Amino acid sequence: MSLSMSSSSAASAAAAAASTPKSSSSPAAASSTTSWFSGIVRGRGDKPNTAKLSKSASATGIGSGDYGGPIKGKNQFRGVLFKYGPKSIQVAFKTGEYKQQVIFIGGLTDGLLATDYLEPLAIALDKEKWSLVQLLMSSSYSGFGTSSLKQDAQEIDQLISYLINKENSEGVVLLGHSTGCQDIVYYMGTNAACSRAVRAAILQAPVSDREYKATLPETPAMIDLAAKMIKEGRAEELMPREADPCAPISAYRYHSLCAYMGDDDMFSSDLSDDQLKTRLGHMANTACQVIFSMGDEYVPDYVDKKALVNRLSKAMGGAEKVEVEHGNHSLSNRVHEAVQAIMILLILVAAIVLAFYFLPVEQLLRDFLLWVEQDLGSWGPLALAVAYIPLTVLAVPASVLTIGGGYLFGLPIGFVADSVGATLGSGAAFLLGRTIGKPFVVAKLKDYPQFQSVALAIEKSGFKICLLLRLAPLLPFSMLNYLLSVTPITLGPYLLSSWLGMMPITLALVYVGTTLKDLSDVTHKWSELSFGHWASLILSLVVSVILMVCVTKVAQNALRKALAEHGGDMNGAVAASPELNDVADVPADLNEPLLIKIDSQSHQEHENQRAMKEAAG
């Protein structure tokens, strides 16, 4: 059903939202641009150099695409309204006909057109070939009082199943506002059938309903009443009207929202670090960003907002943080500021990506080595070391620099310069992967459950495992930098183990460089080499390869043993990895069963393959 939708249809919900804690109103820009960034780094966007979202486009609603864009006019959306489930409330509205979707999940009393930022968000996503999906659930509008996080999670799973099977979705990003953040955290912890299609999660205004409700005088008595009703088996019966003037609310849902460690109590400042990790720790398996308003009116004044957002991020395994100074709960007063800040970052990233793909890297490296040889003199080793940083960050093989260091400076100085440079580059990539690049790294790792074994082992013995991974080059060093960035290892042990672990291969390549005839040999101009020089070079390579094979074999055996000691292995998934269903739990009128079209194999298939390998071996 194609239609245009005006915000007047949500007027009644907006009125209710004004008096209800954690109702929505507007941070789109920040979350939308997170989705653009994820699209670029995954190579899914058609245009990596994102166009700017101009004020005129935002105001007039001009979008891209032959269908006229997602915005028809001020507060008017253009798209498709569809049913994803059998209930009358289970409908969703989608702008754009693209294979990737951002699903907006609102807070208490929210529904369609819930926040001011959805309009500029839809425009921005359309430019990057993403669709925006707004869903209605049983808990939407005034339904939250008789629903639950469990019910919301089931309906989110139904929607994603519909998008995968009916719209050929290639992946979704979940954007939660206010209590919608609890929905996302709960859903990602259920290991539901379609949760593997979630590429990233954005939590905007993840604040505590309990702490806000505690500021109201009637709350303590109502919590006691709800607990009494639950104990008497009346959890689904309604509380008195004064419990929540905005909507009928059951004893269970009131207790969930307002009681200490209730089901909805995930972001309270008085929870211990262990309690936060218990409730939020599984989010470390998903690329996640926390957008926190430092002027949030629903956070009590006694709460240290900066400390809270740091603790939430840490509990989620180091989720990316965005702190919006003076922003209100919905960021309605900071939309354009957030858009501009993230667009600057996006343009820089796009420029780096374009430079990587279109610049003549080999020629540039050759010219750089000539410059070092002819012009820098004693500063050459330092320049060589620093040059490793951009190459390693961009995952460009630096073997040319390593060999060139051996040719230019000989074994002792060349080895020191190359070794220090490789370590600096690894550290830079590690920090990038741990900060703004984390969503991309984590999203990629979701397709490789065997890496959980490595992460588990690193948590218990980080230095040893990192050192062995460097000595046993199962993966390219540049890739390993980013993989290790999302493990629990800290920067100091990482740098030391990387420096020691890369020494053998660095020494071998530097030695090869010392045997070269001139600098042109470094960049693969082999036609002028004499027979004697070929023989010398081949002999050097053979000796280096033999040494590396010996070191690698010993390291691989030690790595297998170390991983086994910590409950994992290099080939299989972690034994404790939860099982994923292959069929979504969807209603019959959606033509069940709907097979989930996800490339990654299920846990059971991994276990079967593992058993076959063990039987054969």
Which residue type sits at 588?
Answer: A
Examine residue 104 and state whether it is found in any structural domain, yes or no: yes
| Rounded average pLDDT over 404-430 | 89
Examine residue 251 and state whether it is found in any structural domain, yes or no: no
Domain holding 462, by residue range, is: 364-520+529-565
For 227-252, write each residue's pLDDT tens digit: 999 999 999 999 999 999 889 999 99
Whole-Å CA distances, 22 to 109, 169, 257, 485: 9, 31, 11, 34
Query: 409 pLDDT exceeds 90?
Result: no
57/96 same-domain check: yes
Domain boundary among 351, 377, 400: 351
For 269-291, write each residue's pLDDT tens digit: 999 999 999 999 999 888 888 88
Examine residue 443 and state whether it is found in any structural domain, yes or no: yes
The position carrying tokens 């009358």 is 88
For 491-523, write each residue's pLDDT tens digit: 999 999 899 888 888 888 888 778 776 655 555
Examine residue 616 and state whether it is found in any structural domain, yes or no: no
Confidence of residue 82 (pLDDT cuts 50, 70, 90): very high
139/277 same-domain check: yes
Confidence of residue 80 (pLDDT cuts 50, 70, 90): very high
Instruction: Return the number of other C-beta atoms located less than 10 Å from residue 298's C-beta.
Output: 22
Tell me the pLDDT of the chain averaged across its residues. 74
287/375 same-domain check: no
Domain boundary among 290, 316, 351: 351
Which residue, 131, 14, 16, is CA-closest to 82?
131
Find the CATH number of the domain harbouring 108.
3.40.50.1820
327/373 same-domain check: no
pLDDT for the residue 41: 34
Backbone angles phi, psi at 200, to 5 degrees: -165, 160
Which residues are paired to 292 by β-bridges?
A: 323
Answer whether 76's CB lies under 8 Å from 107's CB.
no
Examine residue 253 and state whether it is found in any structural domain, yes or no: no
89/189 same-domain check: yes
511/544 same-domain check: yes
Top-ranked range on mean pLDDT: pick from 340-349, 386-395, 470-479: 386-395
In sequence order, the 6+-apart residues with CB closer than 8 A to the CB of 513 are 402, 403, 404, 405, 406, 407, 408, 414, 522
307/430 same-domain check: no
pLDDT for the residue 540: 52
- For residue 372, what is the DSSP state? I
Examine residue 237 and state whether it is found in any structural domain, yes or no: no
pLDDT for the residue 616: 53
Domain boundary among 351, 381, 405: 351
Answer whether 61's CB lies under 8 Å from 73's CB.
yes
Examine residue 415 and state whether it is found in any structural domain, yes or no: yes
Q: How many domains does the chain have?
A: 2
In sequence order, the 6+-apart residues with CB closer than 8 A to the CB of 144 are 108, 109, 179, 247, 249, 253
For 90-129, write each residue's pLDDT tens digit: 999 999 898 889 999 999 999 998 888 888 888 888 887 8
SS3 state of residue 280: helix
pLDDT for the residue 273: 94
Answer whether 334's CB lies under 8 Å from 326's CB.
yes
Q: Which two tokens mark 286?
A: 């998903």
| Rounded average pLDDT over 169-176 | 89
Q: DSSP of 1-18, one letter per residue? A: -EEEEEGGGGHHHHHHHT
Q: DSSP of 475-539, one letter per residue? A: S-HHHHHHHHHTSS--HHHHHHHHHHHTHHHHHHHHHHHHT-SSGGGGGT--TT--HHHHHHHHH
